Amino acid sequence: MNTNTARRAFYAVSLLAVAAAFFQPHVAEAADRVYLSKPEVEASLVGKGVLSKNLQSGKLSHWEFRRDGTVEAVNRSGFGKASGTWMVHDDGKTCVTMMNRTGCRYWFRNADAYANADSMAPDAPVVAEVRYE
């Protein structure tokens, strides 16, 4: 293998490594996650506006979680709103039921940012990035 071929191979492998890190940035950050406990989830959601960006669809939604266990969501990327109920399990898993469907997420803090994932597994992909309004 000549020097130019070796150099091109090195650059190609380097580009692949950078691309892999770019397309899976949240997996790399998993070690820095601090999952919220039940009291922390309740304190961070109740009575606050929550703006959520779904990373798969890119859609923005605004959520309001109420102390009585009701929740309201408004789609900020288009039309539509829905209401339902929510609850937090002892392990911090937060479940929302709307339109006859239930979805559950684990909320976590990563430095000053908040997000949620389907599980507490170290490699669990981030479902949504969240900020409080």
pLDDT tens digit string along 19-70?
Answer: 333 334 444 356 689 999 999 999 999 999 999 999 999 999 999 999 999 9
CB 83 within 8 A of CB 7: no
Q: Do 52 and 104 belong to one domain?
A: yes
Q: Quote the pTM value.
A: 0.74
Q: Do 46 and 71 belong to one domain?
A: yes
Cα 26-24-28 angle, rounded to 5 deg: 50
Locate 36 and state its tokens. Answer: 């919220």
Q: Do 96 and 117 belong to one domain?
A: yes
For residue 3, the model assigns a pLDDT of 55
Main-chain phi, psi angles of 132, to 5 degrees:
-95, 140
Residue pointed to by tokens 């950078």? 18
For residue 30, the model assigns a pLDDT of 60
CA distance 94 to 103: 8
Q: Do 62 and 76 belong to one domain?
A: yes
For residue 127, the model assigns a pLDDT of 95
Chain centroid to CA 82: how far? Answer: 20
Domain that holds residue 9: 1-31
Query: Cβ neighbours of residue 9 under 8 Å, at least 6 residues apart?
Result: 1
Q: If you average pLDDT over every residue of the chain, what do you get?
A: 81
The DSSP line for 45-82 is HBTSEEEEEETTT--EEEEEE-TTSEEEEEESSSS-EE
Share of the chain above pLDDT 90, in %: 67
Domain count, the chain: 2
Q: Do 27 and 57 belong to one domain?
A: no
Q: Do 127 and 92 belong to one domain?
A: yes
Q: Do 18 and 79 belong to one domain?
A: no
- Residues paired with 64 in a beta bridge: 49, 72
For residue 15, the model assigns a pLDDT of 31
